[in-house]
Amino acid sequence: MLLGSNTFGLKYDLKKDFAGTILRLKAAGFTAVEICVTGDRQIEEMLERIPEERRAAYLDSPFRFAFFPMSEAGERIREIRGLGLAVVDMHLSLPGEPDAENMAELTQATIAFLKENGLFGCVVSGMKNLEGMKALAPYLEQMAAELKKAGFVLMYHNHDIECVPEEGTTAFDYLMEHCPSLSAEPDAGWMVMGGSDPVAFIRRYKDRIPCLHLKDFAKENNGADAGEARFTAIGEGILPLAEVMEAAKELKLIDNGLVIDQDASTGDFIEDLKKGKENVERVVREQTAS
């Protein structure tokens, strides 16, 4: 089974040993990495907001390995591919306050980066409620249309906030309905946490979902105050894994478009990823046999 991992949760391991972590992923049976990237201008703006005496500490922190600046990410992609794992798309951070100017600049930089590194497309996340999404949607539609014209795909990755029912809809559904050029990379775990049904969403937008994220939360103590302990291996928590994988059969996922996006672990992170991968494979085997 082609199954990837997102780099956000791997940040601690990647900081300790980048190449060794990629090789451990490969040994665990993973076939791809979805790398997280941010625009160089965004890194500069973020550093400006950090007190000067703390900037060096940030640049040496594990979070420096959560999102790589574009000026560095290409080399990281080549390193990952050289170690035997695919990189087919990237998770791109948006400006803190999107506007016409910074979104146009980011769009052109993204198109150039996708071309240079041979990627299928990219995924963004705004973490907005319905009101915030109404303001963000026009910028995302414009970006999606520009990427589509250039031969790439823009996807949206949800968190829980986009999946909270509001005014008879959700921010995620609003986005999909008002951005016809946009595709989705739904995170099934965050959908559950937001109060939405990932299975219904998958079936509703199946023709616009080239990638799918799997995330799971502990059955108990999974509130935000639980911090990193709220996350657990796929299939060990509240995610209806069997139902999600059954619905996923209707999707035309790209190669390596199924991604485990576990954010944290209280134990060995890659062992958790491996356990989640085994649970996914077990469910698929059982469904194939039935």
pLDDT tens digits, 38-90:
988 887 877 788 888 888 888 888 888 999 999 999 999 999 999 999 999 99
Query: Do the beta carbons of residue 198 and residue 160 sit within 8 Å?
Result: no
- For residue 107, the 8-state DSSP code is H
Report the C-alpha gap between 204 and 198 in whole angstroms.
10
Q: Is residue 250 part of a domain?
A: yes
Residue 194 lies in a domain: yes
In a domain, 272, yes or no: no
Condensed to tens digits (0 to 9), the pLDDT of residues 242-263 reads: 999 999 999 999 999 999 999 9
Residue 197 inside a domain? The answer is yes
Alpha helix locations (H) across 18-99?
A: 18-27, 40-49, 52-59, 70-82
The sign of the dihedral angle between the CA atoms of 228, 47, 37, 85 is: negative
pLDDT at 175: 98
Closest by Cα among 37, 178, 205, 51 to 121: 37
Task: Specify the pLDDT at position 47.
Answer: 79
Phi-psi label, residue 56: left if phi above 0, alpha if psi -120 to 50, beta otherwise = alpha
Flag whether 160 is in a domain: yes
Give me the CATH number covering residue 213: 3.20.20.150
Supply the pLDDT for residue 145: 98
CA distance 107 to 225: 35
Average pLDDT per block of 10 residues along the chain, 290 residues long: 95 96 98 94 80 84 90 97 98 94 96 98 97 98 98 98 97 98 98 98 98 97 91 98 98 97 95 98 95
- Residue 286 included in any domain: no
The reported pLDDT for the residue numbered 202 is 98
Within-domain flag for 149: yes
Distances (CA, A) of 40 to 47, 132, 152, 187, 245: 11, 25, 21, 26, 37
**Residue numbers of the domain that contains 181:** 36-78+89-258
pTM for the full predicted model: 0.96
Q: Per the domain annotation, does 267 fall within a domain?
A: no
pLDDT at 271: 97
pLDDT at position 173 is 98
Number of domains into which the chain is organized: 1
